[in-house]
Amino acid sequence: MSVPTLSSSSVKEAAAAVGFDACGIAAAAPLTEEEWGYDEWLRNGYQADMAFMEQHRDMRRDPSLLVPGAQSVIVVLLGYKPSQHMQGEARIAQYAYGEDYHERIKRMLYQLIAAIRQRYPDFEAKPCVDTVPISDKQWARRAGLGWIGRNTLLVNPSLGSYCNIGELVTPSPADLYDTPLENGCGDCRACADACPNKALTHSSIQAFKHSQIPLLDANRCASYHTIENRAETLPPDIHLSGYAFGCDICQLVCPYNQTAAVRYTLTDERKSQLEALADADPAAFRRATKHTALSRIRHTQWLRNRNQRET
């Protein structure tokens, strides 16, 4: 079986036809510590108790360890900025309003593989959505889809940081690779200043044209504590600011997000369902959160978070 060389333009046309909001392609050369900052993040203990982040470090850096002979990483974005925001006593991060992005993007990636095979029957690729050990944000940056903002998220000029990322890692080379964009945050510190727990810091490594690599200290992050922290109680000095799942504070103040395109219609019916979760019993919680990112946590965690929230 021959390995086809892909037309970059045809791959991007196929991605748009499937429904992705953006697509870029990067050569699968290993990430460098100067652009990654991952080792320093681990040395500082910023992963908190997420031991899985310490695993497969080399694979996260080098996609050829994930897919032998990898030549290209096709990166796609799917925006999720909602048409309206939920209110109430137990708010939810906006990415969790609708269908679980893992399920949706994985399904769309298989559709993209099928579409590419219409032109290249021998095309092979591994679909990746967050749960695979690959550095999503860094490959999106490499593929020219945005830059790593001071909030440590990928910032796309049109979608802001309201976007989920997926990849196809493939042995196929492309006829043209994209180049990273210049960091557009400038001197803006709106996200870092708005974080109630001061979770946003930076690496000592100078990169990206002398701009320091932003780092997130999960020990101080409300999103980490409401989702990943399984303890019976949360640290009393962690401010949840009304959130019972995740946190959007660093995103809400970002100028790019304020002008980003709406990509998800939050209906009044769905909004009411989400707001009703504040007082849901275990069975109602399971029904309402099935096939959403909210299924990531147990009802006991939901109650813990709801009880600690700040109104």
Distances (CA, A) of 23 to 16, 55, 134: 8, 28, 17
List the Cα angle 81/86/90 in 5-degree steps: 120
* Residue 292, beta-bridge partner list: none
Q: Which helix (H) or strand (E) holds 34?
A: helix 33-36
Instruction: Name the 3-class secondary structure at 47.
Output: coil
Which residues touch 231 (CB under 8 Å, ≥6 apart)?
A: none
Q: Which has the closest alpha carbon to 260: 146, 179, 144?
A: 146
Query: Which of the residues 130, 175, 187, 281 is marked catalytic?
Result: 130
The two structure tokens encoding residue 28: 């699968």
240 close to 226: Cβ distance less than 8 angstroms: yes
Distance CA 94, CA 84 (A): 10
Does the annotation count 21 as an active-site position?
A: no
Give the residue numbers annotated as catalytic, written as ranges.
130
